[in-house]
Structures are given as structure tokens and as C-alpha cells.
């Protein structure tokens, strides 16, 4: 099996070889039930970390039953061991009927993926603007509810406040990428690009987001007082973003 994708995927050579072996195993095990093997996530955005990143894989199958899952289970187990494969397994029906409830997830995968084998089942996948807007507003408002609840539980514990902020930043940025797409029809691949567009396109202050990203990357250490200030500013940005999503017209 030829693996032309190797030229386009930013992985160490040994990881590429392990991923290629995984693909070959899955193709043989799934047989004619397999439509596609698709790589998505941080690797396709140039944000792979060899020590911490999973290799996100979408396995598209014609139908899903226990026999097929039994057949591919050893492949997934080997892939998880060898190269941190983290799969989602979807049927044709899942792809056709799930974009209304997971529009942000599917938009992110659709716009940032690499086809490893088979037919690109995402290329013509329709994602309705109103589904995307509603989900975006819901995600942002839910993030703020979580921020309020977490803060009450961790009010005087700097390490827990920092942990909350670092964990919530990535899903927030994915929602912001969707919101930016609704506003100007463009996708901003990297975290840094999304943060820049937050100010340039949406008019929101982004200094606190840059500080948060620096904390996440281990480039900045904040004490309790600064973390409390960051927390309050971040809550304000999330709230403002939710208002923007609410006010976007169909």
C-alpha cells in the first residue's frame, strides 16, 4: 500500500511508519466495510507534540456491528500502543445525521483533515449555518456556567484555578473558530491565529487569551492574584462571544 500522505503529515518518521502500519491493519481487518481512514486534530494544524498529543483518527464505515468492531479492535489497540491512536468510529448514517447536533466538531474535522485511505467522506458534508450558530452559542454559554461553578469550588487554590483555565482554553478556541467562520467565512487554523482574529474580526480584547496560551505552553507562571484577574477577564470574553453568537442573523 502506498502512503502518499506521508509527505504532508508533520510527524516523526517512526510515527509515520506506525500510522502507516495501523492503516494497513485496518484496511485488511475491516474489508469492504471500510470507506475511509482520516487524520484530524492537532497534527493537521501543525500543533503536534510528540510527548503529549494523540493521533486523532476518524474511521468511516458503511455500517457498524459487533463483528466489524471485533475485527478492528486489535488494530486500534496496536495503534494506541504504538502511536497514541485515538479513534472515532462513524457509519454512513452517523455522518449524514449528526452534523445538526455536532456542527462545531464536524466543521473542525472537515476543514482540518488529511485523507489517509479511501474516499473523502467529509468533502461534501453539509453543515447548516443555523445549527452551527446555535451550537456555538450553547457551547460558549455552557463554558461560562462551568467557569462560575469551578471558581466557587477553587476560589483560593491557584493551581486549581490555573488547571481550569488551561483545560477550558482549547474547547473555547474551537468554538471561537466556529464563531469566526460564521462572521467572515474563514478558518483560522492555529490557536495563535484564532486569538488574533478574536480582536481583528470580533473586536474582543485578546491580551488575556495570549497570556492564557503562554500559561498553557509553560511560558508564563502566574500567582493567585493574577490568575483571579485572568479568570474574570476570560469570563467576560466568553460572555461577549456568546452575545455575538446570539446576535448573528441567519
Tell me: the pLDDT tens digits for 83-124?
999 999 999 999 999 999 999 999 999 999 999 999 999 999
| pTM of the predicted structure, to 2 decimals | 0.86
pLDDT digit string, tens, across residues 199-227: 999 999 999 999 999 999 999 999 999 99
In a domain, 222, yes or no: yes
Q: Count CB atoms within 10 A of the CB of residue 230.
A: 20
In a domain, 124, yes or no: no
Domain endpoint, select from 118, 137, 160: 118
> Residue 100: in which H helix or E strand, if any?
none
In a domain, 28, yes or no: yes
In a domain, 215, yes or no: yes
Evaluate whether 74 touches 100 at the Cβ level (below 8 Å). Answer: no
Domain count for the chain: 2
Domain region containing 243 = 129-247
Residues 19 and 90 in one domain: yes
Residues 58 and 144 in one domain: no
Evaluate whether 27 touches 34 at the Cβ level (below 8 Å). Answer: yes
The widest CA-to-CA distance across the chain, in whole angstroms, is 59
In a domain, 171, yes or no: yes
Residues 9 and 104 in one domain: yes
Amino acid at each position: 500500500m502506498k502512503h502518499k500522505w506521508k509527505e504532508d503529515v508533520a510527524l516523526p518518521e517512526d510515527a509515520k511508519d506506525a500510522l502507516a502500519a495501523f492503516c494497513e491493519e485496518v484496511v485488511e481487518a475491516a474489508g469492504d466495510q471500510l470507506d475511509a481512514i482520516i487524520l484530524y486534530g492537532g497534527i493537521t494544524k501543525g500543533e503536534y507534540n510528540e510527548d503529549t498529543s494523540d493521533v486523532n483518527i476518524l474511521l468511516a464505515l458503511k455500517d457498524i456491528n459487533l463483528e466489524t468492531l471485533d475485527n478492528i479492535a486489535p488494530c486500534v489497540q496496536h495503534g494506541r500502543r504504538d502511536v497514541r491512536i485515538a479513534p472515532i468510529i462513524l457509519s454512513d448514517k452517523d455522518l449524514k445525521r449528526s452534523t445538526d447536533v455536532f456542527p462545531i466538531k464536524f466543521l473542525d474535522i472537515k476543514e482540518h483533515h488529511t485523507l489517509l485511505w479511501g474516499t473523502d467522506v467529509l468533502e461534501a458534508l453539509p453543515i447548516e449555518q443555523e445549527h452551527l450558530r446555535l451550537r456555538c452559542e450553547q457551547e460558549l454559554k455552557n463554558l461560562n456556567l462551568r467557569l462560575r461553578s469551578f471558581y466557587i469550588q477553587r476560589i483560593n487554590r491557584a493551581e486549581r484555578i490555573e488547571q481550569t483555565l488551561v483545560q477550558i482554553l482549547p474547547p473555547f478556541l474551537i468554538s471561537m473558530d466556529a464563531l469566526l467562520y460564521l462572521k467572515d467565512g474563514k478558518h483560522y487554523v492555529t490557536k495563535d491565529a484564532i486569538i488574533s482574529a478574536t480582536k481583528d474580526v470580533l473586536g474582543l480584547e485578546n491580551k488575556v487569551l495570549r497570556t492564557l496560551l503562554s500559561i498553557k505552553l509553560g511560558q508564563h507562571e502566574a500567582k493567585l492574584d493574577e490568575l483571579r484577574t485572568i479568570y474574570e477577564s476570560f469570563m467576560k470574553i466568553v460572555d461577549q462571544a456568546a452575545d455575538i453568537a446570539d446576535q448573528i442573523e441567519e
